[in-house]
Chain A
Amino acid sequence: MNKNFIQEEILRSSGVNPKKCMKCGKCSATCPAYDEMEYHPHQFVSMVESGDIEPLLSSESLYKCLSCFACIDRCPRGVQPAKLVEAVRLAVIRQQDKNHLTANDIPKLLDDETPQQLIVSAFRKYTK
């Protein structure tokens, strides 16, 4: 998959417009997992904007984000960095070259305990 395609995919699935970022760094200032990360929230935004996505895909930082959404709450420009992180995670899964869940797997997952919503979203997420 080419670089532009991944970038477009990430922007599309996250619904984030990184061009709105004014580089204030409030996301990184607010991030509780900052010290764990190799690439910090503000870098996420600017790297996705510039299409420099390869390093992100292979970075541990991706899984250090707690999805606490503090950055989303506090960003003055409404950029929503956490959604980008989530979208990059998704891009990684989709790059791994197979369907992690097929329609045939669904029936055996169904039970009274699991909400259907969860299965629907898992199906979306793990299917190319």
Chain B
Amino acid sequence: MQRVGVFVCWCGSNIAGTVDVAAVAEALKNEPGVVFSTDYQYMCSQAGQDIIKNAIAEHNLTGIVVCSCSPRMHEATFRKTAAAAGLNPYMVEIANIREQCSWVHKDMLTGTEKAIILGKAAVAKVNLNTPLTPGESPVTKRALVIGGGIAGIQTALDIADAGFPVDIVEKQPTIGGKMAQLDKTFPTLDCAACILTPKMVDVAQNEKIRIFSYSEVEEVGGFVGNFDVKIKKKARFVKEDICTGCGACVEKCPMKKNPNEFNLGMDNRPAIYIPFAQAVPKVATIDPNACNMLKNGKCGLCARICAAGAIDYTQKDEIIEEKYGAIVVATGFNPISMEKFDEFAYNQSKDVITSLEFERLTNAAGPSAGKLIRPSDGKHPHTIVFVQCVGSRCDACAEKGKEYCSKICCMYTAKHAMLTRDKYPDTEVYVFYIDVRTPGKNFDEFYRRAVEEFGVKYIKGMVGKVTPEGDKLKVQASDLLSNKQLHIDADLVVLAAAIEPDKSARPLATMLTASMDTNDFFTEAHPKLRPVESPTAGVFLSGACQGPKDIPETVSQAGAAASKVIGLLAKDKLTGNPCIASSNELMCNGCSSCERVCPYGAITYVDKEFRMPDRTTKIRRVASVNPAVCQGCGACTVACPSGAMDLKGFANSQIIAEVDAICK
């Protein structure tokens, strides 16, 4: 039997004004287990806490009930008080007689009556409380960043800056991501490479950071603080540590006609290639689908040319196993495919391009060396039509496109239009828009400048049809404000394609048991207050994998994710919430109901040996809860058909005791 102490707080007149505190203390004296009961003006004050401490010592209390304000307010305070007096902090229960009693009821009689019942419920519960100790688990002081774009780079740099080792896994041969492909960045128009490549070099030179390029995460196990990750390092047929990146092999390779991914297939690259001049790591990679040596065993030119002897045609995929304390997802985005949008003739004409392709066309390192030309005939385009919201803001039931606003298109289209007018004043530039959305520092000013200073023709309306005719593109569009249908003979049409999460995100989310929305963007733990954490403990989100984002937002989120990771890795041990589920193995029948409802994947099944009454042993499959992963929601307790699963601190018996106390 517990020895319960009851402490009724007046909270000045906040409680005492509507509740007869002395009567409450008196009434609760007769409850089972209660050996001491008192009231005081301010229980949370030092003097009030001393009363509790003394009573614990004097009356040898094993549990206490504080009738006071909301547990959300002072539960932590009174738990500390109990702990200071040598009592397990989870032997404290709060009866909320302020927010949920004295403040909502005006009448002394009803207030007192209700306070007594709430007190009785708390006493009934504390009688069944058991001392709880939070579980502890060690923290592996190493972070994994999945994705090497600007989000991953910034997160890795910030974590490394705090002194923790970081590994970046990037599936491409180089880090840099989408930002490396961009030309200029809005709204300041500094060149993307000029601000990104120094960061890439920082990553390469930082001794705390390891880069696994041309690699993918294969398997994730474990839990917060103790993830076990298998990383597949794909064979690049070049020894990374020996290759100097001189590029001699790239020049000599005879298999030159392979679409260059980095330039979105607008020009060609050899079978052995370095994606771009500032690639990190600057190491050649052989495309096994293009290399004649790997396909047919004939050639071997690059191996002969390589002075360092870095070429290795026998290289195999390699699996690296590593332990991590935290994982940051930074898998980024891709423009959606334009295949289904046949009204824009993307598949029919080379001169209908996406905005990312336009970026490459205007980039000095791009296929046209920065000269804006028509991809079909290399001529200078005189009339350019930009179409916004291609595939964004579509109906949920539509066969093509996405429901959300892709957020970055308005600004980059304004940038493209402005830069075109700046560099080639003889071009006519039309932008067809539905709405121009420019919330952001200096964003709207930027867009207004494109219109007012650079003479970009913004037209409220949409392009309905693009028809290639001769060397022109006939554009049929609506101008809603002047209520006209326009017919424009354009030389180049640029589509602001919607963006979507990278295809690798979904299988990754499954591996991490991190949740995603219907669009495959990762879900944050709280949309406002925990925007860089996944609901899965130890998994953090950085960049466009969480939702469409521009570079400044991505970088700030990357820093925020890093600070959360640092906060986690700085701990030597993780103390969990002790109010977690646990299974009574003798009752568990191994049905898997709990495993299916657990949102965290905290429940696994183990085969355990049980001694039977006849002294034989039997192996049975029973549920086992991982205390470091369980968050204590209790979904499993209700799903369990045999009642084996229970939640510590909110046990079935405790809640039923409360129900009974209230209904008495």
Q: Which of B459-483 contact A (CB under 8 A)?
A: 460-465, 476-478, 480, 483
Classify chain A's interface size: 20 to 34
| CA–CA, A30 and B465, complex, Å | 6
A54 adjacent to chain B (CB < 8 Å):
no
Q: How many residue pairs, one in A and one in B, have C-beta atoms under 8 Å apart?
A: 70
Q: Are A78 and B395 in contact (CB under 8 A)?
A: yes
Report A1-36 CB contacts with B as 1/0, cut-off 8 Å.
Answer: 000000000000000000010111111111100110
Q: Which of B380-404 contact A (CB under 8 A)?
A: 389, 391, 393-395, 397-398, 401
Q: What's the minimum C-beta distance from B412 to chain A, rounded to whole angstroms?
A: 19
Q: What's the minimum C-beta distance from A103 to chain B, rounded to whole angstroms?
A: 38
Q: What's the minimum C-beta distance from B477 to chain A, rounded to whole angstroms?
A: 5
Q: Are A42 and B485 in contact (CB under 8 A)?
A: no
Report if A42-B464 is in contact (Cβ < 8 Å); known contacts: A74-B343, A76-B394, A78-B397: no
Q: Are B483 and A24 in contact (CB under 8 A)?
A: no
| CA–CA, A40 and B484, complex, Å | 9
| CA–CA, A121 and B242, complex, Å | 78
| Partner pick for A29 among B389, B398, B401, B462, CB 8 A cutoff | B462
Report B415-455 CB contacts with A as 1/0, cut-off 8 Å.
Answer: 00000000000000000001000000000000000000000
Q: Are A23 and B485 in contact (CB under 8 A)?
A: no
A77 adjacent to chain B (CB < 8 Å):
yes
Most chain A C-beta atoms within 10 Å of own C-beta, residue among B394, B434, B478: B478
Q: Are A29 and B464 in contact (CB under 8 A)?
A: yes
Contacts of A70 in B (CB 8 A): 464-465
Give 29 pairs: A residue, B residue, CB < 8 Å, sorted on A.
A22-B393, A22-B434, A23-B480, A24-B389, A24-B461, A25-B460, A25-B461, A25-B478, A26-B463, A27-B464, A28-B478, A29-B463, A29-B464, A29-B465, A29-B476, A29-B485, A30-B343, A30-B476, A31-B485, A34-B478, A34-B485, A35-B485, A43-B483, A74-B343, A75-B395, A76-B393, A76-B394, A77-B394, A78-B397
| CA–CA, A76 and B401, complex, Å | 8
| CA–CA, A76 and B462, complex, Å | 11
Closest to B390 in A: A76
| CA–CA, A74 and B478, complex, Å | 13
Closest to B475 in A: A29
Contacts of B395 in A (CB 8 A): 20, 75-79
| CA–CA, A31 and B462, complex, Å | 12
Q: Which of A55-97 contact B (CB under 8 A)?
A: 70, 74-79
Most chain B C-beta atoms within 10 Å of own C-beta, residue among A23, A24, A43: A24
Contacts of B462 in A (CB 8 A): 24-26, 29
| CA–CA, A23 and B477, complex, Å | 14
| CA–CA, A95 and B391, complex, Å | 40
The interface size of chain B toward A, counting residues with CB under 8 Å, comes to 22
Closest to B481 in A: A25
Closest to A77 in B: B395
Task: Spell out B's residues near A (CB within 8 Å).
Answer: 343, 389, 391, 393-395, 397-398, 401, 434, 460-465, 476-478, 480, 483, 485
| 7 A-B pairs with the lowest CB-CB distances in the bound complex, closest first | A30-B464, A29-B464, A78-B395, A29-B478, A26-B462, A28-B478, A25-B478
| CA–CA, A77 and B460, complex, Å | 17
| CA–CA, A126 and B507, complex, Å | 56
Q: Are A76 and B389 in contact (CB under 8 A)?
A: yes
| Partner pick for B434 among A24, A30, A35, CB 8 A cutoff | A24
Q: Are B483 and A29 in contact (CB under 8 A)?
A: no
Contacts of B394 in A (CB 8 A): 76-77
Q: What's the minimum C-beta distance from B493 to chain A, rounded to whole angstroms?
A: 13
Closest to A39 in B: B483
| CA–CA, A75 and B485, complex, Å | 16
Q: Are A28 and B464 in contact (CB under 8 A)?
A: yes
Closest to A78 in B: B395
Closest to B460 in A: A25
Contacts of A74 in B (CB 8 A): 343, 464
| CA–CA, A53 and B456, complex, Å | 37
| CA–CA, A15 and B460, complex, Å | 28
Q: Are B461 and A29 in contact (CB under 8 A)?
A: yes
Closest to A79 in B: B395
| CA–CA, A28 and B480, complex, Å | 9
Given A29-B477, A40-B478, A40-B483, 11 further pairs, Cβ under 8 A: A24-B389, A26-B462, A27-B464, A28-B464, A28-B485, A29-B464, A30-B465, A74-B343, A76-B398, A76-B401, A78-B397
| CA–CA, A22 and B461, complex, Å | 11
Closest to B433 in A: A24
Closest to B476 in A: A29
| CA–CA, A34 and B480, complex, Å | 12
Contacts of A79 in B (CB 8 A): 395
Q: What's the minimum C-beta distance from A92 to chain B, rounded to whole angstroms?
A: 23
Q: What's the minimum C-beta distance from B663 to chain A, rounded to whole angstroms?
A: 48
Closest to A29 in B: B464
Most chain B C-beta atoms within 10 Å of own C-beta, residue among A26, A43, A76: A76
Contacts of B393 in A (CB 8 A): 22, 76-77
Contacts of A40 in B (CB 8 A): 478, 483, 485
| CA–CA, A30 and B398, complex, Å | 17
Contacts of B398 in A (CB 8 A): 76-78
Q: Are A42 and B343 in contact (CB under 8 A)?
A: no
| CA–CA, A94 and B35, complex, Å | 84
Closest to A20 in B: B395
| CA–CA, A39 and B420, complex, Å | 36
| CA–CA, A78 and B477, complex, Å | 19
Q: What's the minimum C-beta distance from A47 to chain B, rounded to whole angstroms?
A: 13
Contacts of B389 in A (CB 8 A): 24, 76
| CA–CA, A34 and B395, complex, Å | 24
| CA–CA, A23 and B483, complex, Å | 13
Contacts of A24 in B (CB 8 A): 389, 434, 461-462
